[in-house]
Amino acid sequence: MDKQKGIDSLFNPRSIAVIGASETRGKLGNDVMRNLIESGYEGRIYPINPKAGEILSHKVFRSVRDIPGDVDVAVIVIPAKFVLKAVEECGVKGVKALVIITAGFKEIGHEGQEAEKMLASLAEDYEMVIQGPNCLGIINTSAPYNASFSSGTPKKGSIAFASQSGALMTGILDWSLMEKIGFSKFVSLGNKAHLNESDFIEAFGRDSDSTFILLYIESVVDGRKFMDACRKVIPHKPIFVVKSGVSAAGARAASSHTGSLAGSDTAYDVAFKQCGVRRASDMAALFDVASVFDDMHLPSGNRVAIITNAGGPGILTTDACEASGLQIAQLTSQTVEFLKENLPPAAAVYNPIDALGTAQPEDYALCIEAALSDENVDSVLVLLTPQAMTKQAETAQVVVDAHTKYPGKPLIAVFMGGNSMVYPRIILTEGHIPVFDFPERAVHALAELYKYTVSRDSLKDESIPKFKADTKKVEKIISDVRADKRRVLLGSEAHAIAEAYGIPVARIRLATSSEEAKSLAEELGYPVVLKIASPDIVHKSDIGGIKVGLKTPEEVEVAFLQILDNARSQLPKAIIYGVDVQEMAEKGKELIIGCSRDVQFGPLIMFGAGGIFVNYLKDIAFRLAPMNRSDANELIMDTKIGTLLRGVRGESPSDVVAIEDAVLRISQLVTDFPDIVELDINPAFAYEKGKGVSAVDVKITIGGP
Ligand code: ADP
Ligand code: MG
């Protein structure tokens, strides 16, 4: 079914039924009716209640089926046990969208969860969309209509907001009225039984009344869909999100480095980054950005002009800008000359512009206008401290006027102080100027807007490379391992899988006797490495399960026996399959490339500095698979070892393309085989440009059948 068509009806209904409408004040069914009427909704309103009669001057129907005309939206506020029946009736009636406010579903346990599954399948059967259950409702300020039990309706504006918490929305709504922040859509996601965040992101993306998308989520229903929806929208509109709560660790076993190093929230962070979504640290930061965006254009660069009447705040702001990736603009010589001519000699005419404690509104006016019209300036921060000669209110008015004259660049006010700033701040807010009490928050919000433009511009529509691979061989190995009732692959099996996907590995063979080890060593060529082969021993060096640099048959024989001895004495219960004989690889830069699986987002690829100190250095970065070559390159360059690989201090650069290839091939492997729940290559040696890489330790774990 086309959920987007359903959401169109949900956003702009011609008629609304309120199932559970009530005449009694204090009941949700009364609140919803009141909000609908008071929001100025112009379509038809049909209260539904078995008692019939009239509610708030609207004729009551006993059931949706008794309504003579079409019904686009039905809002459901009856007790949970009656909801399924009402939904079915709506389906029969041909209602296009339902808003189920009623609580008592998934949040109460198994029974509720089953009921939600029924809701979703009814929605599909009758081709209608369902918002909720357990939600506050929906508000569209441009329809206009308020089908929620909120107290009050938000101001009309350009922000589309969807929230997984209804209570949080009520707080924000109330606060936004005071702060004069306007919304286009206000959607409470509830339990997301049918419509979820991805559906609304896509709809907000298509909605011409919304230019900015804010989300509060605790989880996403479908990671891939979420990323696809965001990628579609980000080129046109910013998406800012607060994600709270810790996601389920799910199938993640902690035996591999990748599994233990990926925090429970890593996948979300990476997903947001990979699709250009900006993550705000908390609600305050989210709405700081919103308050700036609601009134201002996006900055076209990161060069900021600061205007102040005191030195200290100017320095604070400069520091905050530099810490947030904003640059202090270098004013043009014309601007500097103009300021020199018009400001007192003691004033600072370079950025920050300090018009001194005696600065009058006229001084501010000329500074702000000079900054706004300077081609080297992308946005302007106006700081004011209340000093003896300061005229706060008049200065506020000057800021408002300057913005009206030059609306193209962001202009943000920081009016520091208490009582004397209350009224000036009102003037600013009324005049559509975002205003803050302290510089850091203003700078942070501005920086976020700028960073959105950067992530938007760096999103590339690059295809995912497809390498030739022997999938049959991988299937066979995995099914053999399953037949052997194992989940951890032996070294020889894991290396064979990597090889089947074209990942260069040091050749490795399993020996079950010292005689066999010697003949394999002969075949591979000396020197060789011997490694314990046991699914119960993941970290081989820890138990003396590795002997490197063996040059003769005698050394191989001794090592073989010694490794078995070490294993048996330290882990007597481990099942030992033999000893792997591996060709010795030339030393290179040690890398780790791994994969763990996230419940929502799937394969999470890790790259970083490898070797035995991985857990201590934690020089690692993550991306979600599948990925394109730019993703792979950025993943590598996000680490410190990435910088070293480029070649520093006279060292020749490493074969970064070969490393990218290895990352991409692994990304393809784990995407093709969801059976692989964990993969660790540690180390892979990276060589000079043109000489490739070589994996010497590949570990793979497969999921339960
Ligand atoms: P584990 O990580 O289980 O302890 P590895 O197979 O990674 O065991 O081996 C430990 C270390 O031995 C590696 O970090 C690497 O430095 C070295 N090593 C292992 N195999 C080879 C090889 N084939 N060639 C060169 N060095 C190797
Ligand atoms: Mg290792």
Residue 55: predicted pLDDT: 96
Q: For 389-417, give one letter per residue: b (16+ CB within 10 A) or e.
A: ebbbbebbbbbbebbeeeeebbbbbbbbb
Domain co-membership, 566 together with 609? no
Domain co-membership, 386 together with 404? yes
By alpha-carbon position, which residue is closest to atom 17 of ligand 1? 548
279 inside domain: no
Which residue, of 530, 562, 583, is where some domain finishes? 583
The CA 619 to ligand 2 mean position distance, Å, reads 16
Mutational pocket test of ligand 1: of 529, 571, 583, 591, the residue with most ligand atoms within 8 Å of the beta carbon: 529
Residues with CB under 5 A from ligand 2 (ion): 682, 697
Domain co-membership, 566 together with 679? no
- Write out residues with Cβ below 6 Å of ligand 1: 506, 529, 531, 539-541, 546, 548, 582, 584-585, 611-612, 682-683, 696-697
Domain co-membership, 319 together with 220? no
How does residue 521 score in pLDDT terms, banded at 50, 70 and 90? very high
The CA 697 to ligand 2 mean position distance, Å, reads 5
Residue 661: predicted pLDDT: 98
By alpha-carbon position, which residue is closest to atom 7 of ligand 1? 697
CA distance 354 to 343: 9
Helical H runs in 78-196?
80-93, 110-125, 166-179
Which residue, of 562, 583, 604, is where some domain finishes? 583
CATH number at residue 184: 3.40.50.720
Residue spans of beta strands (DSSP E) within 206-320: 212-217, 239-243, 278-279, 303-308
Cis peptide leading into residue 527 (ω within 30°): yes
Q: Which ligand is nearest to the CA of 529?
A: 1
Question: Residue 701's beta-bridge partner residues?
Answer: 488, 678
Residue 257: predicted pLDDT: 63
Q: Is 416 helix (H, G, I), strand (E, B) or coil?
A: coil
Q: Which ligand is nearest to the CA of 590?
A: 1
Roughly how many angstroms between the first and final C-alpha of the chain, as a whole number?
A: 33
The CA 612 to ligand 1 mean position distance, Å, reads 9
The CA 505 to ligand 1 mean position distance, Å, reads 12
Domain co-membership, 310 together with 417? yes
CA 402 to centroid of chain Cα atoms: 36
Average pLDDT over residues 233-258: 71
pLDDT tens-digit readout, 286-315: 889 988 887 788 999 999 999 999 999 999
Mutational pocket test of ligand 1: of 509, 696, 698, 701, the residue with most ligand atoms within 8 Å of the beta carbon: 696
pLDDT tens-digit readout, 550-609: 999 999 999 999 999 999 999 999 999 999 999 999 999 999 999 999 888 999 999 999
By alpha-carbon position, which residue is closest to atom 6 of ligand 1? 697
Residue 249: predicted pLDDT: 47
Give the range among 194-203, 254-263, 384-393, 682-691 with minimum mean pLDDT: 254-263
**Paired tokens of 541:** 């060096």
Mutational pocket test of ligand 1: of 256, 617, 697, 699, the residue with most ligand atoms within 8 Å of the beta carbon: 697
**Paired tokens of 613:** 């100190």
477 inside domain: no
Amino acid identity at 300: S
Highest mean pLDDT among 107-116, 214-223, 515-524: 515-524
Domain co-membership, 368 together with 448? yes
Does residue 250 surpass a pLDDT of 90? no
The CA 32 to ligand 1 mean position distance, Å, reads 67
The CA 257 to ligand 2 mean position distance, Å, reads 9
Does residue 247 surpass a pLDDT of 60? no
475 inside domain: no
Does residue 333 surpass a pLDDT of 90? yes
Which helix (H) or strand (E) segment holds residue 691: the answer is none
105 inside domain: yes
3-state SS record for 431-459: CCCCEECCHHHHHHHHHHHHHHHHHHHHC
Amino acid identity at 679: L
Ligand 1 atom with the shortest distance to the CA of 583: 23
Domain co-membership, 124 together with 90? yes
48 inside domain: yes
The fraction of the chain above a pLDDT of 90, given in percent, is: 87
Residue 52: predicted pLDDT: 82
Q: Does the predicted model carry a pTM greater than 0.95?
A: no
Q: Which ligand is nearest to the CA of 696?
A: 1
Residue 168: predicted pLDDT: 87
Domain co-membership, 313 together with 347? yes
Does residue 253 surpass a pLDDT of 50? no
Residue 254: predicted pLDDT: 46
617 inside domain: yes
Which residue, of 535, 560, 583, is where some domain finishes? 583
Give the range among 262-271, 508-517, 596-605 with minimum mean pLDDT: 262-271
Residue 579: predicted pLDDT: 98
The CA 386 to ligand 1 mean position distance, Å, reads 66
Q: Which ligand is nearest to the CA of 495?
A: 1
Which helix (H) or strand (E) segment holds residue 192: the answer is none
Domain co-membership, 132 together with 238? yes
Q: Which ligand is nearest to the CA of 488?
A: 1
CATH number at residue 326: 3.40.50.261
Q: Is the dihedral of CA 522, 524, 529, 535 positive or negative?
A: negative
CA distance 637 to 261: 18
Residue 106 DSSP one-character state: G
Domain co-membership, 316 together with 447? yes
181 inside domain: yes
How are the residues of the chain apportioned to helix, strand and coil, as percentages rounded to the nearest 5?
40, 20, 35
Domain co-membership, 572 together with 594? no
Domain co-membership, 231 together with 302? no
Average pLDDT over residues 381-388: 97
CATH number at residue 560: 3.30.1490.20
463 inside domain: no
Task: Show the domain range for 555.
Answer: 507-583
The CA 593 to ligand 1 mean position distance, Å, reads 14
| Arithmetic mean of pLDDT over the chain | 94
Domain count, the chain: 4
The CA 598 to ligand 1 mean position distance, Å, reads 28
Ligand 1 atom with the shortest distance to the CA of 540: 3
